[in-house]
Amino acid sequence: MSSAPVLKVEGLVTELRSGGGSVRAVDDVSFEINAGETLGLVGESGSGKSMTCLSILRLIPSSVGRVTGGRVVLEGTDLMTLDEAQMRHHRGRRISIILQDPMTSLNPVLRIGDQVGEAIKLYRGLEGPALRDAIVDGLRAMRIPAPEQRVSAYPHELSGGMRQRVGAAIAMAGPPAVLIADEPTTALDATVQSQLLALLKDVQRETGLAILFVTHDFGIVATICDRVAVMYAGRIVELAPVAELFANPRHPYTEALLRSVPDLDVDVERLYSIEGQPPALDDLPAGCSFAPRCAYARDVCRERGPPRIEAGPLHHASCWKLAGYGD
Amino acid sequence: MATDAPLLELTDVRKHYAVSGGPLGLKTVGAVRAVDGLSFSVRAGETLSIVGESGCGKTTTARLILKLEEPTAGAISFEGRRLDTLDAAGLRHFRGSVQAVFQDPWSSLNPRMTVGRIIAEPMIVQARLSRQDRQDRVAELMTQVGLRREQAELYPHQFSGGQRQRIAIARALSVDPKLIVLDEPVSALDVSIRAQILNLLKDLQDRLGLSYVMIAHHLATVRHMSHHVAVMYLGQLVEIAPGRELFRRPLHPYTQALYSAALSTHVGRPLSEPALKGEIPSPLNPPSGCRFHPRCPHALAECSASEPALVEIEPGRRVQDCSCVRRLISAAAK
Ligand SMILES: Nc1ncnc2c1ncn2[C@@H]1O[C@H](COP(=O)(O)OP(=O)(O)OP(=O)(O)O)[C@@H](O)[C@H]1O
Ligand SMILES: Nc1ncnc2c1ncn2[C@@H]1O[C@H](COP(=O)(O)OP(=O)(O)O)[C@@H](O)[C@H]1O
Ligand code: SF4
Ligand SMILES: [Mg+2]
Ligand SMILES: [Mg+2]
């Protein structure tokens, strides 16, 4: 397991068309992921998690918006400088994605074997019997039972969990160095979810895959992530090793969020709750986006964006409170 | 505040949906046994939660309790009166006493009605109060659920998900119900909004003595909210127990699997993959014997032979009486 980051995202900015102007769905996002590591990306719906993923893969349709700043360095190559043909060479092969709803990424009229085969043929150049073997191996590696028979099934004939495994088989066809998993288990039942998580962790152990795991479930974060980035209104407000984040959250949003989630083994009379709701991107407050809901907000928070504070090894948070409110 | 007489009682309730097929789809080829022999009761002031994986029959159970569907067999009683024998006055009383809040705050509110009108609707249907009194009541309800009374003139699309769920709760409260059926009331909401709604529901229960039947997936939420928890698998109860007991000592292998799949927010707890085989079979052709046997890590040959009965093993705790549960209990007794 090397410690050089396989994926390095620096100052990523994505602007979306909105009304006559534009909004920043991803605003100065930076992080790195090492081989064999899982970085969790948590945040509420609309906070920009999926836009971050699509931006990294350069999959934002031009009708929706575009990446306007930053670098995405995959194994030493800045993806943002590639032309579309070069980008296609990397996408899927070295960096791939699985989505929440595998039905949207699978073709409903093609047999799953052909879909997995298409990816393997494209990325590994296999043909004929070697390709057929690789398809069955790929499905088996994702623990799809009876893969020899399943190759001829259509997506609708499979359960949600099995479809997600087919999606994973396609995503692993490269095989990639980085896997982006955008809430891949949100639509799955609990027992099926933990089976898929265990599968991903096993694949990671065997291949040294780096994983960006998007979720809003702190249970998943606590269980499978090494480090966590917390996103709020398009920005990463805190990033820390997982144990550190749970034990010592520094950003008021992270702290409040962790306190508001009931735990399976701890009884509390009343849950802590964050009043108000996340802001709309086209109506962001000046200063810190969390200020209208923050129990610690002071005038400076409503005026100027908070500075990024190093809170410990590999731990940073952007908040005026941590900076002594600028005094 | 719980009294002994149940407010709601289900006795061996079944709901089967005919499935058509064959040429032209005219032939009935089978039945989905969405709910297949449910018995449980809920007392005043209590929350009973139903957990189980997708398709196990939770929403169908909710719809039966709300009398939006009629059971194929079995009886549902509210305040001791069977729902299938209610006369017009009895039905009106029932409709006023039992209300619902559904998962999707986006589709469950009429987009063309003002929020004030949406909240007043059950009172209008029930022909309660004068127009002016209704308006006062709407204002009072809105304050109670944390909305501003001026917002009564707005339309649902002008509210966030959490606010819409508050509207749905205010609407349910408008006729002073005794029981509210909550089908995944916070699943569609953001994490930071969920605690607001859960706290609101708990406060209302404390204040008004409400009973809830809650359907939820997140076990930690269920534990936080519930007095009793019922675990469903393929249309049946496999286990029902006081919430803390259930989570302290899950007995049925399926409850154990659900519990081990629930991810704690404690860092460093290993990912314990439930030792389950395969996925949930179709309720069209449920397995013989114990419906869980094809996936159960402890299954013996006898498990497929006879259907286990739900037996009471402790006061308030019932579990399907299969050989492995018996083994577990006797091992624990030693
Ligand atoms: N009107 C209907 N006609 C035919 N089958 C139905 C009907 N309603 C429900 N079912 C079937 O009954 C079973 C139970 O469905 P139900 O909606 O109660 O599940 P659930 O436990 O609420 O699931 P989820 O967690 O996905 O909401 C499922 O197999 C479903 O497909
Ligand atoms: N296809 C799209 N067109 C326009 N705006 C979009 C689109 N998808 C997402 N957005 C907007 O981008 C922002 C971030 O969304 P997203 O990245 O999907 O959030 P998350 O994945 O964290 O829920 C939101 O304001 C959302 O409304
Ligand atoms: S910058 Fe101010 S408002 Fe923002 S999180 Fe920190 S203390 Fe709260
Ligand atoms: Mg998303
Ligand atoms: Mg349901």
Enclosing H/E stretch for A259: helix A252-260
Average pLDDT over residues A203-213: 96
Average pLDDT over residues B129-136: 92
Interatomic CA distance for residues B9 and B17, integer angstroms: 22
Determine whether the interchain pair A223/B271 forms a contact, defined as Cβ–Cβ distance below 8 Å. yes
Inter-residue contact A220 to A40 (CB < 8 Å)? yes
What is the model's pLDDT at position B2?
46
pLDDT tens for each residue of B257-310:
999 888 888 887 778 777 787 777 877 888 999 999 999 988 888 888 888 999
Inter-residue contact A184 to A160 (CB < 8 Å)? no
Decide if A272 touches B, using CB distance below 8 A: yes
Query: How large is the angle between the packed helices A252-260 and B191-208, nearest 10 degrees?
Result: 50
- Is the preceding omega at residue A313 within 30 degrees of 0, hence cis? no
Long-range Cβ pairs for the range A45-50 (8 Å, 24+) = A45/A216, A45/B190, A46/A278, A46/A281, A47/A231, A47/A232, A47/A233, A47/A234, A47/A278, A48/A14, A48/A231, A48/A233, A48/A234, A48/A235, A49/A182, A49/A183, A49/A214, A49/A231, A50/A182, A50/A214
Percent of chain A with pLDDT over 90: 81
Reported confidence tier of residue A2, pLDDT bands at 50, 70, 90: very low
Residue B246: inside a domain, yes or no? yes
Q: How far is CA B226 from each of CA A200, A221, B58, B137, B246, rounded to the nearest angstrom? A: 33, 25, 16, 29, 11
Determine whether the interchain pair A273/B191 forms a contact, defined as Cβ–Cβ distance below 8 Å. no
What is the model's pLDDT at position B25?
66
Last residue of a domain, one of A139, A173, A207: A173
Determine whether the interchain pair A216/B190 forms a contact, defined as Cβ–Cβ distance below 8 Å. yes
Q: What single DSSP character describes residue A212?
A: E
Are A69 and A212 part of one and the same domain? yes
Reported confidence tier of residue B40, pLDDT bands at 50, 70, 90: very high
Reported confidence tier of residue B323, pLDDT bands at 50, 70, 90: confident
3-state secondary structure of B20: strand
Reported confidence tier of residue A3, pLDDT bands at 50, 70, 90: low
pLDDT of A159 higher than 80: yes
Decide if A260 touches B, using CB distance below 8 A: yes
pLDDT tens for each residue of B161-195:
888 999 999 999 999 999 999 999 998 888 888 99
pLDDT of B242 higher than 90: yes
Q: What is the CATH number of the domain that holds B17?
A: 3.40.50.300
Report the domain count for chain A.
2
State the smallest CA–CA distance between residue A125 and chain B in angstroms: 33
Strands (E), chain A: 5-18, 21-34, 38-42, 65-74, 77-78, 95-98, 178-182, 210-215, 227-232, 235-241, 308-312, 315-318
Residue A302: inside a domain, yes or no? no
Q: B193: which chain A residues are within 8 Å (Cβ-Cβ)? A: 277
Residue A131: inside a domain, yes or no? yes
For A276: left if phi > 0, alpha if psi spans -120 to 50, otherwise beta; the answer is left
pLDDT of B3 higher than 60: no
Residue A53: inside a domain, yes or no? yes
Percent of chain B with pLDDT over 70: 97
Residue B68: inside a domain, yes or no? yes
Decide if B279 touches A, using CB distance below 8 A: yes
Reported confidence tier of residue B18, pLDDT bands at 50, 70, 90: confident
Inter-residue contact A309 to A323 (CB < 8 Å)? yes
Interface size A-B, in CB pairs within 8 Å, comes to 134
Sign of CA dihedral B311, B317, B323, B329: negative
3-state secondary structure of B88: helix
> Which token pair is A302?
């409503």
Inter-residue contact B303 to B321 (CB < 8 Å)? no
Predicted TM-score of the model (pTM): 0.90
Reported confidence tier of residue A30, pLDDT bands at 50, 70, 90: very high
Decide if B260 touches A, using CB distance below 8 A: yes
Interatomic CA distance for residues A296 and B215, integer angstroms: 36
Domain that holds residue A147: 105-173
Strands (E), chain B: 6-21, 27-43, 47-51, 73-78, 81-82, 98-101, 179-183, 211-215, 228-233, 236-242, 310-314, 317-320
Decide if A59 touches B, using CB distance below 8 A: no
Inter-residue contact A101 to A187 (CB < 8 Å)? yes
Interatomic CA distance for residues A40 and A227, integer angstroms: 6
Residue A325: inside a domain, yes or no? no
Are A159 and A213 part of one and the same domain? no
Are A52 and A199 part of one and the same domain? yes
Nearest-by-Cβ selection for A257 from B192, B244, B258:
B192
Are A231 and A251 part of one and the same domain? yes
Q: B280: which chain A residues are within 8 Å (Cβ-Cβ)? A: 159, 189
Looking from the CA of residue A320, the nearest atom of ligand 3 is 1
Are A44 and A83 part of one and the same domain? yes
Residues 6+ positions from A56 with CB-CB distance below 8 Å: A7, A9, A12, A72, A79, A95, A180, A212
Interatomic CA distance for residues B11 and A282, integer angstroms: 53
Average pLDDT over residues A262-273: 87
Maximum distance among all Cα pairs of chain B, rounded to whole angstroms:
68
Average pLDDT over residues B1-19: 86
What is the model's pLDDT at position A86?
95
Report the domain count for chain B.
1
CA A281: distance to chain centroid?
20
What is the model's pLDDT at position B1?
46
Are A267 and A225 part of one and the same domain? yes
Nearest alpha carbon to residue B247 among B108, B239, A70 = B239
Q: B198: which chain A residues are within 8 Å (Cβ-Cβ)? A: 262, 271
Domain that holds residue B242: 6-22+29-333
**Total length of chain A:** 327
pLDDT of A200 higher than 90: yes
Interatomic CA distance for residues A77 and A70, integer angstroms: 13
Residues 6+ positions from A40 with CB-CB distance below 8 Å: A213, A214, A215, A220, A221, A224, A225, A227, A228, A229, A242
Residue A64: inside a domain, yes or no? yes
What is the model's pLDDT at position A290?
97
Reported confidence tier of residue A143, pLDDT bands at 50, 70, 90: confident
Average pLDDT over residues A190-209: 92
Reported confidence tier of residue A244, pLDDT bands at 50, 70, 90: very high
Determine whether the interchain pair B261/A271 forms a contact, defined as Cβ–Cβ distance below 8 Å. no
Are A87 and A209 part of one and the same domain? yes
Are A12 and A142 part of one and the same domain? no
pLDDT tens for each residue of A81-96:
999 999 999 999 999 9
Are A64 and A115 part of one and the same domain? no
Nearest alpha carbon to residue A261 among A225, A220, A318, A317 = A220
Reported confidence tier of residue A12, pLDDT bands at 50, 70, 90: very high
For B25: left if phi > 0, alpha if psi spans -120 to 50, otherwise beta; the answer is left
Residues 6+ positions from B54 with CB-CB distance below 8 Å: A189, B280
Interatomic CA distance for residues B149 and B327, integer angstroms: 58
3-state secondary structure of A210: strand
Q: A258: which chain B residues are within 8 Å (Cβ-Cβ)? A: 265
What is the model's pLDDT at position A1?
44
Residues within 6 Å of ligand 1 by CB: B 17, 32, 34, 52, 54-60, 283
Inter-residue contact B258 to B222 (CB < 8 Å)? no
Looking from the CA of residue A52, the nearest atom of ligand 2 is 17
Using alpha carbons only, how large is chain B's radius of gyration in Å?
A: 21
Interatomic CA distance for residues B4 and B42, integer angstroms: 10
Interatomic CA distance for residues A182 and A163, integer angstroms: 15
Determine whether the interchain pair A194/B260 forms a contact, defined as Cβ–Cβ distance below 8 Å. yes
**Atom 29 (ligand 1) nearest CA:** B55
Are A141 and A269 part of one and the same domain? no
Q: A265: which chain B residues are within 8 Å (Cβ-Cβ)? A: 264, 266
User: How much distance in Å is there from the Cα of A52 to the middle of ligand 2?
Assistant: 10
Testing the interface with A: which of B267, B276, B277, B296 to mutate, by most A Cβ within 10 A?
Answer: B267
> Among the listed ranges A6-10, A174-178, A274-278, A296-300, which one has the minimum average pLDDT value?
A274-278
**Atom 24 (ligand 1) nearest CA:** B54
> Which token pair is A61?
């349709």
Inter-residue contact B197 to A273 (CB < 8 Å)? no
- Mean pLDDT, rounded, of chain B: 90
Last residue of a domain, one of A136, A153, A173: A173
Sign of CA dihedral B223, B225, B231, B233: negative
pLDDT tens for each residue of A55-86:
999 999 999 999 999 999 999 999 999 999 99
3-state secondary structure of A200: helix
Sign of CA dihedral A183, A185, A186, A187: positive
Are A138 and A268 part of one and the same domain? no
Which ligand minimizes its atom distance to the CA of A51? Answer: 2
**Atom 11 (ligand 1) nearest CA:** B34
Nearest-by-Cβ selection for A222 from B199, B247, B266:
B266
Which of A293, A301, A309 has the most ligand 3 atoms within 8 A of CB, as the residue to mutate?
A301
What is the model's pLDDT at position A320?
98
Q: What is the CATH number of the domain that holds A245?
A: 3.40.50.300
3-state secondary structure B292-331: CHHHCCCCCHHHHCCCCCEEEEECCEEEECCHHHHHHHHH
Are A260 and A131 part of one and the same domain? no
- Mean pLDDT, rounded, of chain A: 93
pLDDT of B154 higher than 60: yes
Residue B1: inside a domain, yes or no? no
Nearest alpha carbon to residue B310 among B69, B37, B48, B23 = B37
> Among the listed ranges B106-110, B219-223, B237-241, B251-255, which one has the minimum average pLDDT value?
B106-110
Nearest-by-Cβ selection for B162 from A161, A198, A277:
A277
Decide if A157 touches B, using CB distance below 8 A: no
Residue A298: inside a domain, yes or no? no
Inter-residue contact A182 to A220 (CB < 8 Å)? no
Residue A301: inside a domain, yes or no? no
